[in-house]
Amino acid sequence: MKIVSVVGARPQFVKLAPIHKAAQAAGVEHVIVHTGQHYDPMLSDVFFDDLGIAAPDVHLGVGSGSHGVQTGAMLGALDAVFDEHRPDWVLVYGDTNSTLAAAVSAVKMHIPVAHLEAGLRSFNRRMPEEHNRVMTDHAADLLLAPTQVAVEHLSNEGLAARTILVGDVMTDVLFEVRDQVGETPSKLMEELGLEDGGYYVATIHRAENTDDPARLAAVAAGLAAIEKPVVLLAHPRVVAKAAAHGIALTQGSLVAHAPLAYADLISAALSSAGVVTDSGGLQKEAFLLRVPCTTVRTETEWVETVELGWNVLANTAEEIAAAVTRPRPTETDAAPYGDGRAAARVIDALLAPR
């Protein structure tokens, strides 16, 4: 059995870590292809090094570009890779341009495609991620859904026969790293002289928050007005857009900081008063760590976090201020994102006779 995993962006490296481990444990030949969508060391190499993932077998070095240019460059390069390896499965992850390119290339070469994190929907047709996930789900042969809600979305689109509920592989890696981090004080807290529970961790990188200067300025001003320090772990996209439009990412309570390695992020979030983000993964990580989350978006794919009260959608400065100071949500033992053993189920599903 040979599986080719195609990854390219930061959240995909996190999901790859437990899959790589489970593939090795099952004696499966696992080829890792990195498209090069993310190339900064702090968005890429640090995840491979820290999460014990083997170096990519193939690196396409595609880099940045408009959606069409970036996706097209990957598509063009992947044909030769799949032709050389002829895997039993191509495994694609999440909802980035790397996901779509790999799914389209593989399906056209008649190589079975499995989509990890299938069935998520924001129903916001302006998001590039929504295009990518809808098209990938409809192209793929096997849909590995993280949640019951995702299973229902796939069923509503006529895809039930190809769907399996496996749980969320981000739970696998998060629980492992949380246990490793333990009570070790957060490096970020020490570096910035912050107090336990005396700051918020923020990430903002989505196109809908960064690409319109007025929107980005309003989000930055909203975060700057919060009464405790807000450490913005600034993705290159937000740094570039802020610089282009003269928007300060360090102002008032807001302090810009480079992105963190995974374990450092988890320990920074664990000691924080809350997380403010537009990232998909971080909303869920906050919930799994039982850290209150405020999401700067008009909708979320991870609806369970909102229904359980651990996540609130907030867009204006007033909404953000109200959400971050809300009382701590009611404790819950709900586990909508699985039991931390999703990756083994993924490999079992790929090994099952077709």
Q: Site residues (CB under 6 A) for ligand UD1?
A: 9-11, 37-40, 43, 64, 95-97, 128-129, 205, 235-237, 240
Which residues are marked as active site? 205
Residue 340, by phi and psi: left (phi above 0), alpha (psi -120 to 50) or beta?
Answer: left
Specify the residue, 213 or 236, whose C-beta has the smaller distance to ligand UD1: 236
- Annotate 173-232 with DSSP letters as a single string: HHHHHHHHHTTPPPHHHHHHTPPTTS-EEEE---HHHHSSHHHHHHHHHHHHTSSS-EEE
CB 122 within 8 A of CB 145: no
Specify the residue, 38 or 345, whose C-beta has the smaller distance to ligand UD1: 38
Specify the residue, 42 or 225, whose C-beta has the smaller distance to ligand UD1: 42
Q: What are the angstrom distances between the C-alpha of 36 and each of 74, 98, 129, 146?
A: 9, 9, 18, 26
- Whether the CA torsion 70, 72, 73, 78 is positive or negative: it is positive
Task: Please state, in angstroms and rounded to a whole number, the distance separating the CA atoms of residues 25 and 239.
Answer: 40
Least spacing, CB of residue 11 vs ligand UD1, in Å: 5
Measured at the alpha carbon of residue 302, what is the angle toward residues 32 and 293, in degrees to the nearest 5? 105
- In the block, residue with structure tokens 């694609």: 92
CB 51 within 8 A of CB 343: no
Specify the residue, 279 or 345, whose C-beta has the smaller distance to ligand UD1: 279
Q: Which two tokens stand for residue 345?
A: 């189920």
Task: Please state, in angstroms and rounded to a whole number, the distance separating the CA atoms of residues 325 and 72.
Answer: 44
Least spacing, CB of residue 198 vs ligand UD1, in Å: 27
* Beta bridge partner(s), residue 254: 230, 251
Q: Which two tokens stand for residue 220?
A: 């930055």
Task: Please state, in angstroms and rounded to a whole number, the distance separating the CA atoms of residues 81 and 100.
Answer: 16
DSSP 333: -
CB 263 within 8 A of CB 173: no
Q: Which two tokens stand for residue 230?
A: 């807000």
Specify the residue, 136 or 163, whose C-beta has the smaller distance to ligand UD1: 136
Separate counts of helices (H) and strands (E) for the chain: 16, 13
